[in-house]
Structure 1
């Protein structure tokens, strides 16, 4: 699962997206586990600075230098006050981005189990959840997924059991359902 977009076939936009997704995942990781879904708008930093020069006073010098060197450099803007929703699909289904937003990212925590863990689960939802939470092969993961309006995607996956920056798995389409759901917010 671990790959980087530093291949000859990758584009500058793909590399910028991968860097932004990894940065978002690391930022969220500093808050620990058991956090809420977090959603971020992604904007090309230099374009944002060109449109709003006062933004430069709010960004670190390293970000401004990176944006000057790379027109694809992305800045993430966390979306606060998300609308209430019963599930992630409902939340994303109600989102749409204005033209000035070049991409979107989200982080969400999930429980991953082998397929055989679903065999013999109780019918009652609360009892089934309790059984899944107590399963010995349960893996807690944090998924960070980002997409650009024009197509590229990148994912980062951190396991609670291997909670280190160097152990974060990465790839272009690791979580295809979330990639598709994020892309739909640009439709």
Structure 2
């Protein structure tokens, strides 16, 4: 027997919960798509749009979607379609790129993928202060880990992250959570302001 009143939606089916679920699905799909291209890739940026709204605005999009995606979109108004952005503005680093992005209201969210080299905290603390020397040691350190981060945010406030390591490069070894990389989540969220 349900503890919610008959006229109230269950917490799992509220619009906020459906949006969060749709975002998690979209981030997993983006990460899997980027992973298929292999490692040593540039930053990639994807606009996230609600599929039903995209189909209403551009009916020809239906010809590009598989039947299962169309069925999922019909069943859930929060189903998201990712649209990779090409011709990104030139930028010296990820922070500068994200600061240069803005989105029209029709875009419900954003997903970004980026590769990074990470070290255990104790190894990172031992890096030299000189940036060039630190980079050289980072790239040759025996404990370094190459990771790919996929971060998605929605205008609703929902967030989702996926993290894959090169050492464990398998679809079933991707870590996931709402706030795995808080700084990057905040930077991606700022592109929607």
TM range (shorter): over 0.9
Whichever of the two has the greater Rg, that structure is 2
> Following superposition of structure 1 onto structure 2, how do residues 1-187 of structure 1 map, counting pairs within 5 Å?
8=12, 11-187=17-193
TM-fit CA distance, 1:58: 1.7
Alpha-carbon distance, 1:55 to partner: 1.3
Query: Residue by residue, what CA displacement relative to the aligned partner does 1:124-162 show, whole Å, maximum 9, x if unpaired?
Result: 432221111111111110000000011000000001100
Please list every run of at least 4 consecutive aligned residues from structure 1 whose deviation after the TM superposition is greater than 2 angstroms.
Answer: 7-10, 118-127
Q: Counterparts of 1:119 and 1:156 in 2: how far apart (Å)?
A: 25
C-alpha distance in structure 2 between counterparts of 1:127 and 1:140, whole Å: 19
What TM-score, normalized to structure 2?
A: 0.89
Which is further off, 54-63 or 175-184?
54-63
TM-score (norm 1): 0.92
Q: Matches of 1:101 and 1:20 in 2, distance apart? A: 14
Higher relative contact order (CA 8 A, sep 6+): 1
- Most deviating of 47-56 and 26-35: 47-56
Q: Secondary structure at the match of 1:145?
A: strand
**Partner SS for 1:96:** coil
Deviation string 1:11-49 (CA, Å, 9 cap, x unpaired) is 011110000000000000001101000000000001111
**What is the root-mean-square deviation of aligned Cα atoms in Å?**
1.5
Instruction: Report the Cα distance in structure 1 between the residues aligned to 2:126 and 2:160, rounded to whole angstroms.
Output: 35
| Equivalent residues, number | 181
8 Å contact kept, 1:111–1:139: yes
Shift of residue 63, structure 1, vs aligned partner:
1.1
For structure 2, the residue ranges without an aligned partner over 5 or more in a row are: 1-10
In the alignment, what sits opposite 1:3?
none
